[in-house]
Structure 1
Amino acid sequence: MPERRGGRRGARGGDGGNAASRRAGARLSVVRSRSHQRCGGSVAAVSPTTRSRPPLGRCLLRLFTVQGSWNYERMQGVGMGVAEEPLLRDLRGANGGTTYHAALARGAHFFNAHPYLCGLAVGATARAEHDGVPGEQVERLRAALCGPLGSLGDRLVWAGWLPITSGLALIGVAFGLGFPAILGFVIVYNVGHVALRWWALRAGWAYGARVAMALREPVLQRATALSGPAMAFVVGVALPVVVRYLSGGFVGWSRGLLAVAAAGGVALLWWQRARLTGLRFGLALLAVAALAGGLWR
């Protein structure tokens, strides 16, 4: 199943993740203030036996399967409930287990965001349940997190970390590193994405209903601001290096024909840019590759 099930979750502006964090702050502050009023100015703990060290490691492992039960009705909701369950077990002794079952049911409701940042919502809602935030406020908290976490994850990962590490791997292959470059990409990319998942889960649990503050952390803001320029730089360096590497087997007239085909392709893309979709572009590339392979043989 593709990782990118959380696509198109919210409108995107020119400032990407920064706008997302501001929108999250506005919505989540409403959630926080309402829950504060309902609890009489202070948050009442539901379970006095809440663990000092919550099972975040077990929850992180479950987050890797958050899209395993993806469906059109709840999207990632069922997977979120499964991932959140270890953090809710301390609630089983409250009200004969009613609190636990109600919290678990809320955790499995509809949710749709970037899979690498789902832990932020899991940790925040689980902590809110422990802090005695009313159920309807927990629901609003989950709903408020969908859009911001989706757009922020897209900018940090799909438009940042993934193309950066891919570009570096391509540069390494072009310079003759071969398999070590590919292995380095697999290791570095996964270390980064696991670190992001772990940070999100810990931050969500630490902030609870005040999770909007996590989206304003300086480290996250700097990463969001630098991801775009870094991606553009790496891809800009990788493109000519890879083109030179791939065109090394073309000599004489074939190299000139390759240059003409590339120029024509760029011109066609620019001319049809308003009608070109990702699917059409991918199919066009496959068709060109098949044609070129047939002619080259």
Structure 2
Amino acid sequence: MRPRRRDFVRALLRSFSIQGSWNHRTMTGPGMAFALSPLLARIHADDPGALQAALERHAGAFNAHPYLAPVAIGSLARLEYEKEETDTLLRFRAALRAPLGAIGDETMWAGWRPFCASTAAIAFLLGTDPVAAAATFLVVYNLGHMGVRLWGLRCGWRAGRGVGAALGRIPFRRIARSLILTNQVLIGALAALLISRIQGGAPTPPWIGGVAVVAGLSGYVIPRRISAAALASLLAALAAWLL
């Protein structure tokens, strides 16, 4: 039986607790089975034995970035709906783990989260109310991460076995790289603002802009030898000492 919209809504909501039963043996496997259960219950509504078997196999070892887990939830549910053989389904399930983990770590952990944090910190140092700056971070960051979850579930269900090709059409690496480089510029501006705050003066726009630009360019020139935060801090400290 084809899942209904409310089944997908329940699966999406349950994906937020996918790490709630994390353990060293099955990792997020039990959470995956819990999130999949509304979809599996509809698909196997006429066969309780098939439902029990599906829940057991999806409770096995699995791990992926939690924000990209809905991609796996949708695609695995689609394979269950299409009555794929168990061996094929399990191999497909295992193949999803590494790509979803790598994409999520690079795009969300290394890109989106630092970008949102730097933006909120700069807003605070420029005079934004602390509560407003924190609230802005929480709203913007979570809109992005919830959007990824919703997109992932839709993408997984629609693509099914072709989810790898569907993911390949999204330039995740380019998006992550752009976020990381933009964040380096923000870190440069943040370093200049912090040094200025410590000194008790008001930074001039050329100072802030100069440190920000050099920190951003460091991502192209020396990306593996020194972090943007370290370079920006050194430049800001040098500028503060000279000025």
Same fold (TM over 0.5): yes
Within 5 Å, which residues of 2 pair with 1:109-258? 109-178=60-129, 179-218=131-170, 220=172, 222-248=174-200
Aligned mates of 1:247, 1:240 — CA distance in 2:
11
Q: CA deviation at 1:176?
A: 0.9
Contact 2:32–2:59 at 8 Å: present in 1 too? Answer: yes
Q: Please, which runs of 5 or more residues in structure 1 have no aligned partner?
A: 1-48, 250-272, 274-297
Q: CA deviation at 1:92?
A: 2.9
Change over 3 Å in CA distance of 1:151–1:201 after alignment to 2: same
What is the number of equivalent residue pairs in this alignment? 201
Indicate the residue corresponding to 1:63 in structure 2. 15
Change over 3 Å in CA distance of 1:71–1:213 after alignment to 2: same
Change over 3 Å in CA distance of 1:246–1:136 after alignment to 2: farther
Scaled by the length of structure 2, what TM-score is found? 0.76
Letter in 1 for 2:91: R
- Aligned-residue identity in percent: 38
Indicate the residue corresponding to 1:283 in structure 2. none
Change over 3 Å in CA distance of 1:72–1:189 after alignment to 2: same
Stretch moving more, 211-220 or 80-89:
211-220
Change over 3 Å in CA distance of 1:69–1:246 after alignment to 2: farther
Q: CA deviation at 1:214?
A: 2.2
Contact 1:163–1:235 at 8 Å: present in 2 too? Answer: no
Letter in 2 for 1:59: A
Q: CA deviation at 1:235?
A: 2.3
Two-structure CA RMSD over aligned residues (Å):
2.0
Larger RCO (CA under 8 A, 6+ residues apart): 1
Scaled by the length of structure 1, what TM-score is found? 0.63
Contact 2:103–2:172 at 8 Å: present in 1 too? Answer: no
| Pairing 1:90–2:75 present | no
Aligned mates of 2:165, 2:5 — CA distance in 1:
22
Aligned mates of 2:101, 2:199 — CA distance in 1:
38
Change over 3 Å in CA distance of 1:176–1:87 after alignment to 2: same
